[in-house]
Structure 1
Amino acid sequence: MPDTRETWRNKTFGAIGAGVYDAVVEREQLARPAGRVLWGTDVGLFYSSMDFLGELPDGTAVLDVPCGGGVALRAVRPGQRLDYVAADISPAMLDRTRARATHLGLTGIGCTEADIEALPFADNTFDFCISYNGLHCLPDPAAAIREMARCLKPGARLIGTAIIRGAGSRSELFQLTMRTSGVFGPSGTAADFESWMTAAGLRPDRLDRSGALLHFTATKQP
C-alpha cells in the first residue's frame, strides 16, 4: 500500500509549489479572477467563510488541517487566545504558516507536521476543525473526514471548502489535468461529501456550491 506521505502534497507541494499556491490564495486580487476562471467560484465567499474564527472565545480548540500556508490565520485576531493547531504534511507549508503568523502578530499558533489520515491527536480534542481547499488533493478524502471527525468533540463542527466533481465541463477538464499531474486526488461530488460526512458520524449542516467549490459545515453527532 503506498505511503500517503509520498502520494499526497509532500510530493507535489514543496517549496516551489507552496510559493505558487500562496502567491494566489493569499492575494485576493489574483485569487478572485483565478477562482472565477478556473472554478467559476466567488472567492469572496471563501474568505468570508473564515470570519467566524475571529469571533471565537479564548480557549477554543481549533484544528486547521491541511493548513497550507496559513490562509485562515487572516481571520484570527492578534491577542486572541485560541488553542490553535495548524497541521500539514508539508514542512514547506508549515514554514509559511509560521511566517504568516509572525507577520500578522499572532502568538500561540502551534504547527504540527501530520498526515491527515493519521492525525496525532486524541479523540474528542477539538471544538472546531477547519479544512480549506485540501480534501480534493487527497487520495482518500473519506478517510480524512473520518479522522477529522474522530478528533472533534461531540457537538463540535467541521468547516471548510473543497473542489468537487460534477460542476461543469471546464472544471472537470482542469481537475483531470491536476489529477494527471498528481496534484489532485479523486475528490468527489457534493453527494459524495455528504455521504462521507454522514458515515463519519457528522451531520451535514451546510453543503453550498459556488461553482466547483463546495462550502461545507458539519456537526459531530453525540
Structure 2
Amino acid sequence: MIANVWSLLKLLMFQGLFTSPPQDPGFDFFYLTLQWPGAYCDTKRSCCYPTTGKPTADFGIHGLWPNYNNGSYPSNCDPNNEFDPSEISDLVSTLQKKWPTLSCPSNEGYKFWEHEWEKHGTCSESVMDQHGYFEKTLALRDRINLLQILTDAGIEPNDEFYELKDIKNAIEEGFGFTPVIHCNRDPEKNRQLHEIFFCVDTSATEFINCPRPRDGCPSHIQFAKF
C-alpha cells in the first residue's frame, strides 16, 4: 500500500500536479522607483553627471525595493552578500543608460548600484541573485515608456505646473496601473515631480495595484526641465 502511494506521488510530481508550496520571500511586494533627473538636479544638493556624460532626459531607475503592506520595509538583510561588480559586467552599459548616477563627485555608477544591492537587493535573495536583481529591474523599467505616456497627454518637462490628478490619470490610462508619486522642492520651494513608484509582485515579474497608494505631493506640481 505504501509503495503504491509513493508511486502515485512520484507520478504527480513528474506531471507537475503536486509541488511543494512556494517559498515565502519575506516581504509583500516591490516598489519599482523611477526618478526624474531634472528634479534631482534642481535642488540645493549637488548634482553631477556621470563620467559617461549627461544622461538622457528620461526617467531613470532609482531602485527595486522590497516592501511590506504595512508601509515598512526590510533593508541591509545580508551583510555577507556584498556587491560584486563582476556579477553585472554584461549589464553595465545598459545600467549606465537606464540606471544612471547623479551623485557627486562624478562617477561611473558602481557606488549607486552597490548601495541599491546591499540595502534593498539583499532582501530579495530568496527570489533572485545579484545579477537577477539588476536584470529584472531593467526589464521592468523597459515595460513602462513613462515619459512618452506623459508627453502624449500634454504633460511635458518644461518647468510648467500640472495637476497631480492629471499626471496620475495619464499614467493609469497609458500603462494600466496607478502610480504613487513623490515630490521634492527646488530652491524656490516649488514642489516638483521627482519620483514615481510602481508596485510589482514578489517574483519581480508582474505589475500589481499598490496596497498603500499614498502620494507625497500637493495637487499642483512642476515638471522640471533637464
- Shorter-chain TM-score range: under 0.3
Task: Report the TM-score, using the length of structure 1 for normalisation.
Answer: 0.25
Quick one: higher RCO (CA 8 Å, sep 6+), 1 or 2?
2
Task: Report the TM-score, using the length of structure 2 for normalisation.
Answer: 0.25
Q: Counting helix residues as a fraction of each chain, which structure ranks higher?
A: 1
